[in-house]
């Protein structure tokens, strides 16, 4: 009996979903992308090679898997073809045998990109035409792949063999007992309906979006895994209660300069900006697609509980635990304070969220290199206590822990939730 697993981002995106999807793809038969466009990016490390994906599911690296771009994805043909050709130049053949594009997926036009560049910057969009394309889709004036490939343009001719009614591929796989993996772009707190509106994306990254973005029944889903960093990050504008330093400090930072002893000393003496800088530099927190520096902050259990509620999360995959190495003290947000009132639930009112200040619980950090740990018992006591706290404070078990970017640098804790 096969399984259908949904991988969602449990924060503001950039949680490391690419690596988690890449690991699980080894046991999957079909790998699907269900939302977003090339405003997203996944980085996968295989040995000494780095692969950056913007549209194609990272399952393409496993060669024999069928990869699907669902109807919920919006596609820039030029970008997609560039990605296909880039993979081919590195020895990964992409054909209709391992990639299918939904005939109902909408096409990003140059006019969408131009509009986004003019209007989207105010809320921190990537300027790649994603939002305007979704606007065209909802206003029923969009261009679908099934119609795009009827044109005689070189891009249309190149993509035509890939375009199919993909709902049949995915549902047949489920009916035939195959393992199906569904990956979302961005994260729960960027969801158009459930995120920090208006500082959100234009699609539904949440688990429910997997059903509408691919065309499957909710009853088909076996488990939902939310990916969260051991700290948090956010790109672009919008409220961010646990942010370390300010957005302006992050923007003005020289990304080419590494960390110094003084940076660590200042961070361990309580300088919040330097704490955020350590997380950003050690975590290489720069956008896969945009190269923008990410705002960094402590793990937010209030936001995580909200995300786990919205998604019905069965288990969490905690990534980048190794990035916390070297900090003497770690903090976890357990509640918000707003005007002297303590709240434990995530507020949907953006003005209220902007006034929220984190209520922290402190934990001891560790100095040991944990990148070689392959079992929970091989982690320092402080790291194990930190993970226990994340489970207890969010009310959700941890299924996987990542201690480095490579496939092997992963600790599996709840195999029954996986393939």
Active-site annotation holder among 22, 27, 29, 42:
42
**For 402, phi and psi rounded to 5 degrees?**
-100, 130
Counting Cβ atoms within 10 Å, is residue 183 exposed (0-12), middle (13-18) or buried (19+)? buried
- Strand extents, DSSP E, 245-301: 295-297, 299-300
CA within 13 Å, CB half, 372: 2
CA distances from residue 291 to 96, 324, 342 in whole angstroms, order as listed: 31, 22, 37
Structure tokens at 200: 């959100």
Q: How far apart are alpha carbons 166 and 169 in whole angstroms?
A: 5
If DSSP codes are grouped into helix, strand and coil, which group holds residue 299? Answer: strand
Taking Cα atoms as reference points, which of 20, 4, 418, 395 lies closest to residue 229?
A: 20
Structure tokens at 209: 């979006």
Taking Cα atoms as reference points, which of 53, 47, 51 lies closest to residue 67?
A: 53
Answer yes or no: 14 catalytic. yes
Q: How far apart are alpha carbons 301 and 304 in whole angstroms?
A: 5
* Secondary-structure percent of the chain, ordered helix, strand, coil, rounded to 5: 35, 20, 40
For the chain, give the number of residues.
Answer: 419
Residue 402, strand partner residues: 410
Answer yes or no: 372 catalytic. no
Q: Do residues 133 and 108 touch, judged by C-beta distance below 8 A?
A: yes
Taking Cα atoms as reference points, which of 105, 13, 17 lies closest to residue 57?
A: 17
Active-site annotation holder among 14, 116, 191, 300:
14
Which residue do the tokens 């992308």 mark?
33
Q: In the sheet that 410-412 helps form, which strands lie side by side, from edge to edge?
A: 163-164, 99-102, 66-69, 30-33, 180-183, 4-9, 223-229, 315-319, 398-402, 410-412
Q: Are strands 295-297 and 232-234 parallel, antiparallel or unpaired?
A: antiparallel
Q: Do residues 285 and 318 touch, judged by C-beta distance below 8 A?
A: no
Active site residues: 14, 42
């Amino acid at each position: 009996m096969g399984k259908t697993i949904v991988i969602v981002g449990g924060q503001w995106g950039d949680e490391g979903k690419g690596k988690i999807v890449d690991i699980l793809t080894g046991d999957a038969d079909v790998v699907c992308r269900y939302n977003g466009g090339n405003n997203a990016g996944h980085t996968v490390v295989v040995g000494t090679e780095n692969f950056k994906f913007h549209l194609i599911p990272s399952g393409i690296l496993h060669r024999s898997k069928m990869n699907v771009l669902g109807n919920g994805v919006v596609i820039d043909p030029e970008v997609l073809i560039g990605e296909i050709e880039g993979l081919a130049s590195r020895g990964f053949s992409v054909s209709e045998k391992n990639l299918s594009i939904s005939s109902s997926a909408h096409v990003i036009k140059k006019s969408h990109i131009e509009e986004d560049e003019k209007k989207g910057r105010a809320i921190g969009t990537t300027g790649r035409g994603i939002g305007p394309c979704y606007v065209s889709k909802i206003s029923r004036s969009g261009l679908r792949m099934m119609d795009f490939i009827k044109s005689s343009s070189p891009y249309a001719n190149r993509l035509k063999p890939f375009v199919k009614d993909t709902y049949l591929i995915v549902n047949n796989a489920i009916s035939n007992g195959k393992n199906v993996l569904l990956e979302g772009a961005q994260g729960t707190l960027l969801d158009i309906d459930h995120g920090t509106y208006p500082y959100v994306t234009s699609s539904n990254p949440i688990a429910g979006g997997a059903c509408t973005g691919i065309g499957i029944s909710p009853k088909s889903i076996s488990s939902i895994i939310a990916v969260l960093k051991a700290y948090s990050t956010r790109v672009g504008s919008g409220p961010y209660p646990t942010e370390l330093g300010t957005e302006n400090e992050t923007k003005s930072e020289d990304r080419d300069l590494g960390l110094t002893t003084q940076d660590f000393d200042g961070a361990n003496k309580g300088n919040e900006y330097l704490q955020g800088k350590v997380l950003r530099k050690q975590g290489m927190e720069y956008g896969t697609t945009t190269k923008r520096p990410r705002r960094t902050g402590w793990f937010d259990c209030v936001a995580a509980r909200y995300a786990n509620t919205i998604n019905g999360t069965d288990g969490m995959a905690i990534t980048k635990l190794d990035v916390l190495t070297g900090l003497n003290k770690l903090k976890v947000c357990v509640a918000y304070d707003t005007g002297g009132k303590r709240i434990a639930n995530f507020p949907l009112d953006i003005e209220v969220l902007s006034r929220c200040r984190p209520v922290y619980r402190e934990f001891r950090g560790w100095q040991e290199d944990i990148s070689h740990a392959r079992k929970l018992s091989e982690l320092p006591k402080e790291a194990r206590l930190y993970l226990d706290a994340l489970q207890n404070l969010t009310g959700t078990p941890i299924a996987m822990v990542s201690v480095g970017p490579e496939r092997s640098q992963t600790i599996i804790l709840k195999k029954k939730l996986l393939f």
